[in-house]
């Protein structure tokens, strides 16, 4: 299949937008049911794109981005599945699409790497955000947001165009690469999973005092208990908030009463003295 | 952090109500909550971007705006479609110039629980229903499926975004004026709730585990640790980082330390990590990755998370289910 420059540019633009849309903006454009027909139209086989999108969407329903877990990237998976289905002249059937999906997997994996890498780099940028806040630099905050969107979009665009030209041979190379350096990517994954503890520690620095330690451990225990039970695990944090709110409201009402009584008590003391 | 966020704003006169135009602008910007998502503070910087139109209206004092911006960069993770609920509440607190600690505690307490509700509402209900039905239209080669999906999904999304913003802002404004008479007690109570929720977050989001299997009897170190206290490692890391930050470590230094520990640890096969590497059949590496230095045998290959065959089975299962449910599904020949 001959690919013109214009087609390559259009694929780049679509991948750029979808790369951003998976986390921001409408958060629905990136779904395969929308992305695949667009790629199909660019490659001159619109109907094939529609069918690939439909089949991929059904598979995708089982792997939603729940609770921060990241399944292999649906955007590059969908884009590349359409590209392979079109370039290999596959039939517009779910069976044909299944084969295209296998070829697209290495790209979906690399799409995930692009996300992991961006999230790691942007963790470092939070110091810059703190600086912007100290200087009331509104534009700086906006630019940091633009920056991540630009990085993410560009990485996705480049991967999609590389896949468009490199085809399944590039997929093979990427796959070998990901197996060879799996410990580095797993390291980034493990480190990424632990970085949120820095955010927690900063929050604790604000709210902690000696008498608060018990509440921290109580919340920890509550979440452990809720998540251990299949029927409550989905609502873990809501249940934590319920119990936490009960304690907080009780503490609030007791303390306001003590304050009111302390005032009355002092007055009484004075009058008793007379 | 060199900058110490003050406990109270300098200008303590409550600001006038934020106008509709600004609120609407905030709703639109709320779509970019995750624009600068990262592992350390997650949605913090995108959140601040969305809050800024309101904050700029409220804090005419420059020093107050700085303080407000600084504490609105706290760790935040909530559901992207329900975030306007938190925005409305926090905006009403800012407007009444509540103590910064109160705002921080209320924000994390309100934001945390929304994640689970939003996932259940959107990813487990709305998307499967709309995408499942419209995907079948698409399977017949009809583009109408894509349009229907976009229209339904976004109509619901924006109705919720706008509705929650106005509702929670109104609610917050009413509640806050009532509570300001006992500001000190309120701050204490909010901190208790905040700390309680942070404890819950550590257990809920703390996914760090070890993958080590040692000895001839293949002792699984993680299940040993789980026997002592589940989520022990996340708790210990958080407490360790808390001590380091109290000692004056910057967040960047902490992140670099974690990055080095993570990669070196995985080189030796200590941490659990998923490299996501897959072959064309969708087979993953047992244990998630191959360590650089292998000093123990990882036992029998764990079942692959999702092979191509499983994905195909899932597809056919969904189609059969829809057919059983009375939805006409024609598989193209």
Residue B88's pLDDT is 94
Residue A274's pLDDT is 40
For chains A and B, count residue pairs whose Cβ atoms are closer than 8 Å.
501
Determine the residue of chain B that is closest to A19 in CA distance.
Answer: B35
Q: Which of A33, A196, A205 sits opposite B246 (nearest CB)?
A: A205
**Does one domain contain both B171 and B46?**
yes
In-domain check, residue B80: yes
| Segment among A44-58, A207-221, B318-332 with least mean pLDDT | B318-332
Shortest Cα distance, chain B CAs vs residue A269, angstroms: 24
The tokens describing A93, both together, are 């059937």
How far is CA B285 from each of CA A43, A103, B151, B273, B277, rounded to the nearest angstrom? 34, 18, 40, 11, 7
Q: Which of B193, B267, B315 sits opposite A187 (nearest CB)?
A: B267
**Does one domain contain both B141 and B266?**
no
Q: What is the DSSP string of B219-286?
A: EEHHHHHHHH-TTHHHHHHHHHHHHHHHTT--HHHHHHHHHHHHHHHHHTT-B------B-TT-PBPT
Q: What is the pLDDT of residues A124-145, one digit of tens each?
A: 899 999 999 999 999 999 999 9
**Across A6-18, average pLDDT:** 94
Q: Which of residues 213-242 of B touch A (CB under 8 A)?
A: 230-231, 234-235, 237-238, 241-242
**Alpha helices, H only, chain B:** 20-29, 44-58, 62-71, 83-95, 100-118, 127-139, 144-179, 183-205, 221-228, 232-246, 251-267, 308-324
Give the mutation candidate from A119, A128, A190, A232 for the B interface (greatest B CB count, under 10 A): A190
Q: Touching check for B65 and chain A: CB below 8 Å?
A: yes
Give the mutation candidate from B144, B249, B260, B275 for the A interface (greatest A CB count, under 10 A): B275
In-domain check, residue B1: no
Q: What is the pLDDT of residues A69-128, one digit of tens each?
A: 445 788 888 899 898 888 877 776 666 667 777 788 888 888 888 998 999 999 989 999
Cα B173 from Cα B82, distance rounded (Å):
19
CB-based burial, B49-73: b 16+ in 10 Å, e otherwise: bbbbbbbebbbeeeebbbbbbbbbb
HSE value, Cβ hemisphere, 13 Å, CA-based, for B23: 23
In-domain check, residue B120: yes
**Does one domain contain both B313 and B167?**
no
Residue B119's pLDDT is 79
The tokens describing B90, both together, are 């926090």
Q: Quick check: B87 and B171 in contact, CB under 8 A?
A: no
Last residue within a domain, chosen from B178, B201, B224: B201
ipTM of this predicted structure: 0.83
**Does one domain contain both B106 and B226?**
no
Q: Which of A37, A136, A193 sits opposite B208 (nearest CB)?
A: A193
CB contact under 8 A, B38 and A51: no
Q: What angle do CA B229, B232, B238 make, to 5 degrees?
A: 150
In-domain check, residue B208: no
Tokens 């290495």 found at = A106
Q: What residues of chain A lie within 8 A of the CB of B277, using their CB?
A: 109, 175, 178-179, 182, 185
**Does one domain contain both B155 and B250?**
no
Cα A110 from Cα A117, distance rounded (Å):
10
- Listed by start position, the domains of chain A span 5-196, 208-273
**Percent residues over pLDDT 70 in chain A:** 89
In-domain check, residue B14: no
Q: What residues of chain B lie within 8 A of the CB of A101, using their CB?
A: 308, 311
Q: What angle do CA A247, A200, B208 make, to 5 degrees?
A: 110
Q: What are the average pLDDT values for consecutive 10-residue runs of chain B, which has 333 residues?
A: 79 90 95 92 94 94 93 92 94 92 90 83 82 83 87 93 94 79 84 92 91 85 92 96 93 91 94 83 81 83 55 70 68 51
Q: What angle do CA A129, B84, B63 make, to 5 degrees?
A: 40
Residue B286's pLDDT is 83
| 3-state SS, residue A64 | coil
CB contact under 8 A, B52 and A138: yes
In-domain check, residue B314: yes
Shortest Cα distance, chain B CAs vs residue A170, angstroms: 13
Last residue within a domain, chosen from B177, B201, B225: B201
**Does one domain contain both B192 and B262?**
no
**Does one domain contain both B185 and B243?**
no
In-domain check, residue B3: no
Q: What is the DSSP string of A64-95?
A: --GGG--PSPHHHHHHHHHHHHHHTT--SSHH
Shortest Cα distance, chain B CAs vs residue A40, angstroms: 11
Residue A268's pLDDT is 46
Q: What residues of chain B lie within 8 A of the CB of A252, using their CB?
A: 182, 185-186, 188-189
The whole-model pTM stands at 0.83
The tokens describing B28, both together, are 């639109």
Residue A270's pLDDT is 46
Cα A175 from Cα A155, distance rounded (Å):
17
**Does one domain contain both B194 and B247?**
no
Q: For residue B159, give the nearest of B107, B106, B121 by alpha carbon.
A: B121
Cα B207 from Cα B51, distance rounded (Å):
30
- Return the higher-pLDDT residue of A58 and B18: B18
**Does one domain contain both B231 and B318?**
yes
State yes or no: pLDDT of A267 exceeds 70. no
Shortest Cα distance, chain B CAs vs residue A175, angstroms: 6
Distance of CA A248 to the CA centre of its chain: 32
**Does one domain contain both B315 and B233?**
yes
Q: What angle do CA B129, B135, B139 make, to 5 degrees?
A: 155
Last residue within a domain, chosen from B139, B173, B201: B201
Residue A264's pLDDT is 58
**Does one domain contain both B194 and B239?**
no
| 3-state SS, residue A165 | helix
Range of the domain at B226: 215-326
Cα B112 from Cα B203, distance rounded (Å):
12
Residue B254's pLDDT is 92
B308-324 and A94-124 are packed helices; what angle lies between their axes, rounded to 10 degrees? 110
Q: Which of residues 115-144 of A touch B (CB under 8 A)?
A: 119-127, 129-130, 132-136, 138, 141-142, 144
Residue A266's pLDDT is 52
Q: What angle do CA B122, B125, B129 make, to 5 degrees?
A: 115
| 3-state SS, residue A25 | coil
In-domain check, residue B252: yes
Q: Tally the domains of chain B.
A: 2
State yes or no: pLDDT of A228 exceeds 70. yes
């Amino acid at each position: 299949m001959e690919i013109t420059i214009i087609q390559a540019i259009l694929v780049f633009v679509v991948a750029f937008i979808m790369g951003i849309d998976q986390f921001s903006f409408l958060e629905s454009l990136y779904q395969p049911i929308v992305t695949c027909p667009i790629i199909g139209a660019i490659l001159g086989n619109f109907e094939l794109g529609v069918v690939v999108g439909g089949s991929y969407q059904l598979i995708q329903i089982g792997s939603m981005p729940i609770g921060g877990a990241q399944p292999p990237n649906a955007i590059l998976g969908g884009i590349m599945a359409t590209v392979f289905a079109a370039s290999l002249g596959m039939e517009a059937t779910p069976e044909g699409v299944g084969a295209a999906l296998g070829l697209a997997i290495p790209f979906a994996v690399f799409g995930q790497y692009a996300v992991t890498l961006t999230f790691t780099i942007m963790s470092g940028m939070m110091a810059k955000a703190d600086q912007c806040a100290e200087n009331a630099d509104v534009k700086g905050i906006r630019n940091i947001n633009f920056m991540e969107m630009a990085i993410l979009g560009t990485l996705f665009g480049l991967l999609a165009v590389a896949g468009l030209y490199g085809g399944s041979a590039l997929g093979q190379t990427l796959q070998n690469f990901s197996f060879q350096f799996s410990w580095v990517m797993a390291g980034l994954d493990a480190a990424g999973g632990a970085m949120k503890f820095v955010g927690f520690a900063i929050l604790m620095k604000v709210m902690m005092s000696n008498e608060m330690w018990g509440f921290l451990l109580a919340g920890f225990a509550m979440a452990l208990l809720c998540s251990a039970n299949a029927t409550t695990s989905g609502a873990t944090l809501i249940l934590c908030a319920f119990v936490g709110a009960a304690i907080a409201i009780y503490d609030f009402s007791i303390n306001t009463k003590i304050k009111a009584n302390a005032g009355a008590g002092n007055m009484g003391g004075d009058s008793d003295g007379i | 952090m060199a900058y110490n966020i003050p406990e109270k704003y300098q200008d303590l006169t409550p600001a006038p109500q934020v106008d509709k135009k600004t609120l609407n602008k905030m709703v639109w910007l709320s779509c970019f909550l995750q624009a600068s998502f990262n592992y350390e503070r997650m949605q913090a910087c995108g959140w601040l971007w969305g809050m800024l139109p309101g904050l700029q209206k409220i804090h005419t004092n420059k020093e107050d705006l700085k303080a407000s911006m600084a504490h609105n960069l706290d760790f935040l993770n909530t559901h992207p479609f329900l975030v306007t609920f938190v925005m409305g509440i926090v905006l009403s607190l800012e407007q009444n110039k509540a103590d910064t600690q109160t705002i921080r505690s209320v924000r994390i307490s309100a934001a945390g629980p929304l994640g689970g509700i939003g996932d259940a509402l959107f990813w487990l209900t709305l998307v499967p229903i709309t995408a499942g039905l419209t995907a079948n239209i698409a399977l017949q080669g009809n583009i109408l499926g894509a349009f229907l999906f976009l229209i339904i999904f976004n109509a619901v999304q924006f109705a919720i975004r706008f509705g929650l913003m106005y509702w929670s802002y109104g609610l917050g404004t009413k509640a806050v004026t009532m509570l300001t008479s006992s500001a000190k007690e309120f701050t204490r109570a909010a901190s208790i709730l905040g700390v309680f929720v942070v404890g819950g977050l550590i257990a809920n989001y703390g996914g760090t585990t070890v993958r080590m299997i040692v000895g001839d009897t293949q002792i699984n170190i993680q299940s040993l640790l789980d026997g002592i206290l589940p989520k022990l490692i996340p708790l210990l890391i958080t407490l360790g980082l808390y001590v380091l930050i109290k000692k004056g470590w910057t967040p960047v230094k902490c992140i670099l330390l974690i990055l080095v520990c993570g990669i070196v640890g995985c080189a030796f096969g200590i941490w659990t990590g998923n490299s996501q590497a897959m072959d064309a059949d969708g087979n993953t590496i047992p244990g998630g990755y191959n360590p650089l230095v292998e000093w123990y045998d990882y036992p029998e290959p764990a079942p692959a998370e999702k092979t191509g065959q499983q994905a195909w089975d899932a597809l056919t299962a969904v189609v059969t289910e829809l057919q059983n449910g009375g939805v006409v599904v024609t598989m193209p020949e």
